[in-house]
């Protein structure tokens, strides 16, 4: 029996942690910020992601106190997390954490740790996820308003249940889901917080665990409890009803009551199609596809499975496109921010506090520059030294050493390599060991052996050094190359990416491309001054 690793019930938990910001606004904040915050938050799902990012950043720009900054940062990080940009979201959460700790804002700390835990859980770093959930629990225990604290504790217990479900520790997961129900039962009546709705989630998690344990009676019981809780709730979220119907379909499928199972699956599908809520559609279509496959209804299986796969691919492509656009926007923002930072004058207090640090950085910079200068000079000297520049002249070794192939064969391979080097074969971005061995006229084993034996390098290192030597010579002999972008230099010498070029450039020369160009410029300036 296939059980979804993450059900709709479980995906709802962290969304609810975010919703607390809306339900419980900080009363000390100005009305204009609060109203704008609510407006931006509600419009996020309907707004183009790039525009949403601008709105969230604008919200931060008008923040007049730490509480507003925290809310803006959490909103931005949560927004990036939603689109899978966890590496970009993580440092923003940490920035919000720092401000929240300073202000002893335990509500925000609880939400931040909950989010970070969710990121770790999705990456299957369960130990880290539980560590941050524990930090969130400690923070929630310091919230003065007990009702608010219980609400957070209920959601945190649900998230702990999710982690243990992922680890297939179902009894432990059930224990935490029941703790969540206990916290919900302690809450006083509140129109702004629908505890019955939250009870649906806890009962749904317990149902999932019992279904995974194949304890069908218990799974049906907690599914019925979820339905009862939903019936008592305000019923504003039909997607939750869809997930309950899907659960009934799964449970009936296990006991082979296929007519009932199909009935509930189709009810769930109807809600999923009407709401067009992706998480629910994914869950329902996957369940229905597996059901028809088990039933042997091949035509229905093919139809629903094709729709399911198309939906998954479309969502993946859409998210990748959005993520790419958001990354571009973030990069552009960072460039603007860097320029703004440089243009701002530093205050006397800032200079005083950082004076020792700057002195240390300056000392390190001077030392590092000297070391890079030495590496630069050593590399240039090696290029200017005929004995070294001839690539150690690819000489043959004495006969006394054992050879993998004959001396004559080695010489023919070496001669062929020299001829190809003169033709600059290495500038071809698509050059490969297979391609080069074909040009030399030997098999890959012989070519690899000779390169390793004579040059003490593998194929990639051999080609990369030729490329770097070539572009270095261009930089030294043609001043125009000093003004080209690094990406152009990379392409010019056969590299397909900026990063790979930079890594290999430093590996060969001992310095980065930018530092090397600066050294060449300095050397040229010194020579011009001497000649003048």
Write out pLDDT tens, residues 222-231.
999 999 999 9
Of 10-24, 158-172, 280-294, give the lowest mean pLDDT range: 10-24
**What span, in angstroms and rounded, lies between the C-alpha atoms of 208 and 247?**
8
Q: Mean pLDDT for the chain?
A: 82
Domain locations in the chain?
8-236, 404-531
Question: 348-384 and 459-477 helices cross at what angle (nearest 10)?
Answer: 100
Interval 412-436: pLDDT, tens: 999 999 999 999 999 999 999 999 9
pLDDT for the residue numbered 527: 78
Of 214-218, 275-279, 382-386, 511-515, give the lowest mean pLDDT range: 382-386
pLDDT for the residue numbered 394: 47
For residue 454, what are the CA distances in angstroms to 93, 391, 394, 498?
53, 10, 6, 29
| More confident of the two residues 395 and 62 | 62
pLDDT for the residue numbered 93: 92
CATH architecture of 404-531: Orthogonal Bundle (1.10)
pLDDT for the residue numbered 297: 93
Interval 103-125: pLDDT, tens: 999 999 999 999 998 888 888 88
| More confident of the two residues 81 and 388 | 81
pLDDT for the residue numbered 156: 93
Task: Select from 413, 392, 426 the least CA-distant residue to 494.
Answer: 426
Task: Name 13's Cβ contacts closer than 8 Å, sequence gap at least 6.
Answer: 118, 155, 158, 159, 162, 201
Q: Are 203 and 225 in contact (CB under 8 A)?
A: yes
pLDDT for the residue numbered 387: 37
**What span, in angstroms and rounded, lies between the C-alpha atoms of 391 and 64?**
63
Summarize the confidence of residues 299-327 as an average pLDDT: 83
Cα-based torsion angle of the residue sequence 454, 456, 462, 465 in order, rounded to the nearest 10 degrees: -110
In this prediction, what percent of the chain has a pLDDT beyond 90? 48
Q: Is the pLDDT of residue 239 over 80?
A: yes
Q: Is the pLDDT of residue 245 over 60?
A: yes
Strands of 350-470, DSSP E: none
| More confident of the two residues 355 and 436 | 436
pLDDT for the residue numbered 259: 95
**What span, in angstroms and rounded, lies between the C-alpha atoms of 14 and 128?**
16
Task: Name 102's Cβ contacts closer than 8 Å, sequence gap at least 6.
Answer: 66
pTM of the model as a whole: 0.55
Is the fold of 8-236 the same as that of 404-531?
no
- Mean pLDDT: which of 41-50, 51-60, 131-140, 377-386 is highest? 131-140
Classify domain 8-236 at the CATH class level.
mainly alpha
**What span, in angstroms and rounded, lies between the C-alpha atoms of 155 and 15?**
10
Q: Are 382 and 473 in contact (CB under 8 A)?
A: no
């Amino acid at each position: 029996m296939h059980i979804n690793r993450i059900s709709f019930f479980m995906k709802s938990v962290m969304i609810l942690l975010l919703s607390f910001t809306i339900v419980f606004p900080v009363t000390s904040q100005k009305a204009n910020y609060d109203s704008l915050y609510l407006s931006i938050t509600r419009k996020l799902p309907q707004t183009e992601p790039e525009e949403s990012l601008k709105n969230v950043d604008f919200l931060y720009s008008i923040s007049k106190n730490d509480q507003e900054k925290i809310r803006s940062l959490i909103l931005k990080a949560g927004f990036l997390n939603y689109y899978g940009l966890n590496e970009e979201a993580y440092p923003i959460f940490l920035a919000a954490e720092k401000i929240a700790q300073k202000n002893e804002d335990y509500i925000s700390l609880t939400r931040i740790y909950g989010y970070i835990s969710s990121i770790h859980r999705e990456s299957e770093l369960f130990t880290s996820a539980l560590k941050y959930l524990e930090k969130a629990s400690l923070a929630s225990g310091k919230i003065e308003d007990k009702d608010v604290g219980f609400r957070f504790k209920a959601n945190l217990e649900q998230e702990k249940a999710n982690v243990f479900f992922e680890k297939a520790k179902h009894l432990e997961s059930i224990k935490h889901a029941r703790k969540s129900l206990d916290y919900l039962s302690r809450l006083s009546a509140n129109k702004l917080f629908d505890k019955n709705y939250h009870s649906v989630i806890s009962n749904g998690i317990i149902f999932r665990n019992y279904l995974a344990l194949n304890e069908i009676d218990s799974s049906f019981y907690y599914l019925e409890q979820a339905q009862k809780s939903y019936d008592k709730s305000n019923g504003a979220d039909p997607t939750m009803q869809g997930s309950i119907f899907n659960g009934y379909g799964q449970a009936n499928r296990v006991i082979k009551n296929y007519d009932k199972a199909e009935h509930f699956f189709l009810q769930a599908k109807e809600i999923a199609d009407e709401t067009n809520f992706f998480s629910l559609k994914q869950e329902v279509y996957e369940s229905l596809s597996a059901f028809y496959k088990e039933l042997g209804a091949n035509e229905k299986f093919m139809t629903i499975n094709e729709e399911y796969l198309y939906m998954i691919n479309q969502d993946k492509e859409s998210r990748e496109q959005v993520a790419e656009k958001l990354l571009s926007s973030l990069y552009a923002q960072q460039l603007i921010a860097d320029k703004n930072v440089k243009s701002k004058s530093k205050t006397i207090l800032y200079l005083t506090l950082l004076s020792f640090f700057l002195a240390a950085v300056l000392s390190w910079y001077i030392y590092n520059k000297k070391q890079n200068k030495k590496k630069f000079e050593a590399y240039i000297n090696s290029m200017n030294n005929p004995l070294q520049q001839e690539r150690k002249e690819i000489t043959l070794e004495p006969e006394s050493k054992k050879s993998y192939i004959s001396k004559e064969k080695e010489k023919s391979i070496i001669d062929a390599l020299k001829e190809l080097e003169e033709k600059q074969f290495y500038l071809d971005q698509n050059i490969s060991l297979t391609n080069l061995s074909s040009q030399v006229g030997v098999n890959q084993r012989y070519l690899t052996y000779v390169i390793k034996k004579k040059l003490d390098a593998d194929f990639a290192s051999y080609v990369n050094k030729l490329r770097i030597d070539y572009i270095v010579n261009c930089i030294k002999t043609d001043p125009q190359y000093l003004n080209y972008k690094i990406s152009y230099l990379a392409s010019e010498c056969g590299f397909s990416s900026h990063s790979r070029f930079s890594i290999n450039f430093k590996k060969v020369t001992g310095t980065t491309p930018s530092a090397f160009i600066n050294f060449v410029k300095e050397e040229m300036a010194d020579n011009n001054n001497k000649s003048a």
